[in-house]
Amino acid sequence: MSNVEIGLASIAVILVLIQTGMHVAIALMAVSFVGVILVKGKFAIAGALLSQAALDSVARYSFGVIPLFVLMGVLVGASGLGRDLFDVAGQLFRKFRGGLGIATVFANAIFAAVNGTSIASASVFTKVAVPELIRQGYTPRFSVGVVAGSSVLGMLIPPSLLLILYGILAEVSIGDLFKAGILPGIVLAVLFSVAIILMARFASGFTGVSNRLDTASIATSEMLLKSAPVVALILLVLGGIYGGFFTPTEAGGVGALGAFLVAQFKGRLGWREIGRILIETGQVTASITFLIIAAHMYSRLLALTGLPNAMTDLLATWNLGLTGILVLYLIVIILLGTILDSASILLILLPLILPVVEPFGINLVWFGIVTIIAVEIGLLTPPLGVACFVIKSNLDDDRIGLSDIFAGAAPFALIMVVMIAIVMIAPWLALALI
C-alpha cells in the first residue's frame, strides 16, 4: 500500500470504528498509531507521534484558555444569567411563530460576544434552552437542533478561538478577523431566525407546535434588570478587548472572573456549588480537549502520508480558476469536517491552500471568514460533530439520541452552506467593518 492509500484507508477505518460506538478519541488514536507504523515502519516512531501530540499539540495560549471559556459558560449557566438572557429574548420574540427558537438564536448571538468557543455556547444553551423549548411544545429534535445550530455563532462572532488560530496560521491580523466576523455572524443569525419562522409554518411536524400562551409576560423594567448582568459582562469583555486592556485570548480569563463575580453578586455560589461548577467545567474540557488532541494525532498521520499534498497537486493539474479552486476547497473542508475537529482542519489545509490562492491576490481576511464558516459546518455533521457531542454530554435525557441532534442540526448546516455562498458573492459583508 502506498502512503496515500494508507491515508485514504485510515479515513474509512475511522468511520467504521466510530460507528461501533468506540470513543472517538480512542478510535483516532488507534488509527493514528497503526497508520504511522505502516508509513514509517517503526513502533517507536508511532509511539513518539502519539506522545508528542499528547504533550504538545494543545500547548498554546489559545488552547490554554479553553477551560476558561468553558468555565465562563458554566458560570453563566449556573448563575442563571443564561436563563435570564433567554427569558428576555423569549419575551422579545414571543409574537413570532417559532419565537422561542428565534430567542435561542438571538441569545446565542449575544452570548457569542462574550465567549470564544462554540463548546461553551452549546453547553450553556443545552441546559438553559432545551428543557424550556420542549416544555413549550417544540419537538426534542428541533429543540436540540436549534441549540446546536446557533452555537456556531460562538466562533463566528468575536471573540473566537478559531479566528485566532486562523490568524496565526495565515499571518493575518486577528483584530481584522474579529471585525470581519461580526456582520456575517449577524446575517447568519437572521437567516437562522427566518428559517425557524418558515419551518414553524411549513414544517411544523419537524419543529412541533408551540403552545406559547402560557409564557408569562415580563415587564420592561424586569427585562432590563434581567439583561443588565449579561450586558455588563459583554461590556467588560468587548470593552476590555477594544479598549486595549487585554487581548482576545486573555478575554477568556477576564471573562471567567467577571462571570464568577456576577454569579457571586447574585448570591448563587456556595463552596459546594463552586466545586460542582469546576468539576462540570473539567468534564467538558477534558472530553473535548482530549478529542482535539486525538484529532491532532490523526491529522499528523494524514500529513505524514502526504495525502493532503497529493490532493493539492491533483487540484493544481486541473487548471481551475479561482472560483473552481475555492468551491473545491470548501467542499473538502466540509467533507473533512465530518471526521475532524475544526482546529485540525485548519492545521492540515491552510498551509496547502494558502500558496495556491495567494497568487490570485485574494483578501485573506475574507478568505478566513469563508473558511471558518465552512469549518464550523463540521461542528454539526455526523459522525464527528463536536457541537452535537457537547449537547449530548450536557443533556441528562436518554430519550434524545445523538442521531436526533444531528437530524435537528441538519437544516442549520444547510443554511450555513447558503451563508458561505452569500459571503462569497458579497465579500463586503466580511470587509465592511475593517
Q: Output the nine-digit C-alpha cell for 340.
A: 475532524
For the chain, counts of helices (H) and of strands (E): 23, 0
Contact string (CB under 5 A) for Na ion, positions 135-164, x = contact = -------------------x--x--x----
Is residue 104 at the binding interface for Na ion, with CB under 5 A as the rule? Answer: no
Site string for another protein, 362-391 (x = CB under 8 A): --------------------xxx-x--x--
Nearest to 204 by CA among 136, 139, 150: 139
Q: DSSP state, 218?
A: -
- Identify which of residues 240 and 411 has a Cβ nearer to another protein in the complex: 240
Total residues binding another protein (CB under 8 A): 103
Among 1, 5, 56, 201, binds another protein (CB under 8 A): 56
Return the closest-CA partner of residue 85 out of 214, 226, 237. 226
The angle subtended at Cα 42 by Cα 41 and Cα 48, nearest 5°, is: 130
Shortest reach from residue 178's CB to Na ion, in Å: 9
DSSP 360: G
Chain positions 294 to 353 lying near another protein, rule: CB under 8 A, are: 299-300, 303-306, 308-309, 347-348, 350-351
Please, what is the Cα angle at 79 between 163 and 74, to 5 degrees? 40
Binding mask 360-389 for Na ion (x = CB under 5 A): ------------------x--x--xx----
CA-CA-CA-CA torsion sign (386, 387, 388, 392): positive
Identify which of residues 3 and 338 has a Cβ nearer to Na ion in the complex: 338
> By CB under 8 A, what part of segment 116-175 binds another protein?
167-175
- Amino acid (one-letter) located at 264: Q
118 touching Na ion, by CB under 5 A:
no
Min dist CB 282 to Na ion, Å, is 22
How far, in Å, are 72, 133, 142, 192, 405 from residue 139 at the CA level?
29, 8, 5, 17, 11
Least gap, CB of 28 to Na ion (angstroms) = 13
Out of Na ion, another protein, none, what residue 381 binds, judged by CB under 5 to 8 A for its kind, is: Na ion
When the beta carbons of 104 and 312 are compared against another protein, the nearer one is 312
Closest CB to Na ion among 269 and 434? 434
What is the Cα–Cα distance from 356 to 336, expressed in whole angstroms? Answer: 19
Q: Are 94 and 212 in contact (CB under 8 A)?
A: yes
Interacting residue with another protein among 95, 216, 219, 244 (CB under 8 A) = 244
Among 78, 119, 128, 241, binds another protein (CB under 8 A): 241
Q: How far is the CB of 381 from another protein (least distance, A)?
A: 12
Residue 74 engages another protein in binding (rule: CB under 8 A): no
CA dihedral 151, 380, 159, 302 (to 10 degrees): 160
Site string for another protein, 257-296 (x = CB under 8 A): x-----------------x--xx-xxxxxxxxxxx-x---
Q: Which stretch binds Na ion (CB under 5 A): 23-31, 69-77, 106-114, 294-302?
A: 106-114
Phi then psi for residue 39, to 5 deg, are -75, -45
- CB closer to another protein out of 91 and 121: 121
Q: For residue 100, give the DSSP letter.
A: H
- Cβ(419)–Cβ(373) below 8 Å: yes
The three cell numbers of residue 84 are 435570564
In the block, cell 500547548 appears at 59
Q: How many CA atoms lie within 13 Å of 92's alpha carbon, on the beta-carbon side?
A: 17
Q: Is 409 in the site for another protein (CB under 8 A)?
A: no
Q: Is 89 in the site for another protein (CB under 8 A)?
A: no
- Sheet strands (E) in 21-138: none
Residue from 3, 247, 338, 393 in contact with Na ion (CB under 5 A): 338
By CB under 5 A, which span of 25-33, 227-235, 289-297, 336-344 interacts with Na ion? 336-344
The three grid cell numbers given for residue 148, joined into one nine-digit string: 446546536
Sole binder of Na ion in the list 112, 164, 262, 307 (CB under 5 A): 112
Handedness of CA 40, 41, 45, 46 (dihedral sign): positive
Contact between 239 and another protein (CB under 8 A)? no
